[in-house]
Structure 1
Amino acid sequence: MRTRVVFNQKGGVGKSSIAVNLAAISAAQGFNTLLIDLDPQANASQYVLGDDATYNADKPALEPNIQNFFDEVLGNTQQKGLIGNALGSLLKSRTQDFNAYIHQTPFAKLDVLPASPSLGSLTHALEAKHKIYKLRDAIQSLSGKYQRIYIDTPPAFNFFTLSALIAADRVLIPFDCDVFSKRALHSLIENIMETRADHNERLEIEGIVVNQFQAQAKLPREVVETLKNEGLPVLNSMLPPSVMMKESHHKNMPLIYLVKEHKLTQAYQTLFNEIEPQ
């Protein structure tokens, strides 16, 4: 089993799109694949589940979800409403089974553990009770079921991101050729390497994924060249901008299922082949 985290402390760099589309290609290639969504915005969950994972003032988040897992880790027993009570009864009997929180997607061999908008409310309690290794232990229990796991993270270095890095083998860092992104990159890498030294010696930075790369524009080329000259692990496969990504989000269909021959889909396939060489 191989577990990848897609992480950048800066928002808007394409974390969810990259996590979902690589997970979808993984599944299409025949790997039993799980997508774990740790971002309270739940973009990855909504990308593959559509309305089922969409929440608003009148519609609660899809359950069970990752917050329910961490509630069980904390031993929280309070539930809200009749649905919550029924869910509590179910989960109490399956507390040790991480599979209880996982949902099937419409796509073969691709499952998802959805996020919750109120996940952040548990941060202080989880930190206070030193629960930083619980996600790692739960993921390890899935080794007989999944061959690949992709984790989408919030745009912050917090408890949930740290939990993901402790659970993972590899990290992919999305990068959008922005000057501010470049300035923050060294701090991000330092956080990853500190996590490796303190908690997870097998963790590797698999590479920097350049997203929204405009090959004909001078500034993006110069920024990428600077990163390479600094010795940073920039992957050769770069993702071009395309309105097709928004179409993919709108239809809740990863690119490999929506437009297999499109240039952006092929760029993702090339990226997947680079990190998963045959």
Structure 2
Amino acid sequence: MRRVVFNQKGGVGKSTITCNLAAIGAHSGQRTLVVDLDPQGNSTRYLLGAEAEGIEDGAADFFDQTLKFSVRAKTPEDYIVETPFEHLHLLPSQPALEELHSKLESRYKIYKLRDALASLEDQYDAIWIDTPPALNFYTRSALIAADACLIPFDCDDFSRRALYALMENVQEIQADHNPGLKIEGIVVNQFQPRANLPQRTVQELVDEGLPVLEPYLGASVKVKESHERSLPMIHLDARHKLTQEFVALHAALSKPATRKRAARAA
């Protein structure tokens, strides 16, 4: 399963959600790949820590190669690095992604990521794609390459207003480029159950019939420590309430895949 975590609004927790769900899958034994397409590289720093500064090959090098012809072209595997966590690999972000954007868009390299990830399907049980906070070449590439889209939602009115346009953009990609893409659900992040506004906002989404996933992810300062120490929550504090919410969310996402595998086996 290839999932993209996408929201055009910044600061909604895309990288945190991507890395923590990926880390939980890897911790349970799934061969897992994180693809960091955000030039800011938050997922890359989260998973590699100080080692992120010394990356020689990464996502920018992969895309740069698509602009050139080479008899001895590197394979997608050549751009992937190991993380300190067993079963968890990373296609790291690089700042040069920003510089390459216009060239890639003008040369219409929009399907290259899809083809690369398809060639890796036998090597990974799960692929998670982190995206920039914009509907640009990298985000479109990710949506075209993915089977499912998760939309982080941080319980404020600005996020809600942007949500409808965002879902329309995903559906447009689905109609024009990737008929197999589905909106798997809205991930409620930074939820404060005792506050009236988040409760009311999320309930209104549920009442509208939107695919709001459970459990909701609570607000916690522990996640900031997780970022600082480059340790996803499952490795920092497996018993923490937020960690258990991530574990439950990962389990909820895994159930449909489990049912499909069982149906195919039958």
TM-score in terms of structure 2 length: 0.94
1:70 aligns with: 63
**1:227 is paired with a residue of what secondary structure?**
helix
**2:101 is paired with a residue of what secondary structure?**
helix
Q: Which of residues 187, 212, 225 in structure 2 aligns to 1:209?
A: 187
Q: CA RMSD, aligned part only? A: 1.2
Cα distance change on mapping 1:247 and 1:93 into 2, 3 Å? farther
Question: Partner amino acid for 1:238?
Answer: Y
1:72-96 Cα offsets, whole Å, 9 max, x none, are: 00018xxxxxxxxxxxxxxx67524
Larger CA deviation: 118-127 vs 101-110: 118-127
In structure 2, how many angstroms separate the alpha carbons of the residues matched to 1:251 and 1:145? Answer: 29
In structure 2, how many angstroms separate the alpha carbons of the residues matched to 1:53 and 1:93? Answer: 29
In structure 1, how many angstroms separate the alpha carbons of the residues matched to 2:64 and 2:96? Answer: 11
Shift of 1:63: 1.9
TM-score in terms of structure 1 length: 0.90
Question: Partner amino acid for 1:149?
Answer: I
Cα distance change on mapping 1:94 and 1:242 into 2, 3 Å? farther
1:113 aligns with: 91
Cα distance change on mapping 1:109 and 1:94 into 2, 3 Å? farther
Aligned: 1:40 with 2:39: yes
Q: Which of residues 231, 234, 237 in structure 1 aligns to 2:209?
A: 231
Alignment of 1:237-256 (within 5 A): 237-256=215-234
2:261 aligns with: none
Quick one: percent identity of the two aligned structures?
A: 54
Question: Partner amino acid for 2:88?
Answer: L
Alignment of 1:78-157 (within 5 A): 95-157=73-135
2:168 aligns with: 190
Report runs of 4+ in structure 1 exceeding 4 Å deviation. none
Number of aligned residue pairs: give it.
Answer: 256
Unaligned runs of 5+ in 1: 55-60, 77-91
In structure 2, how many angstroms separate the alpha carbons of the residues matched to 1:265 and 1:169? Answer: 25
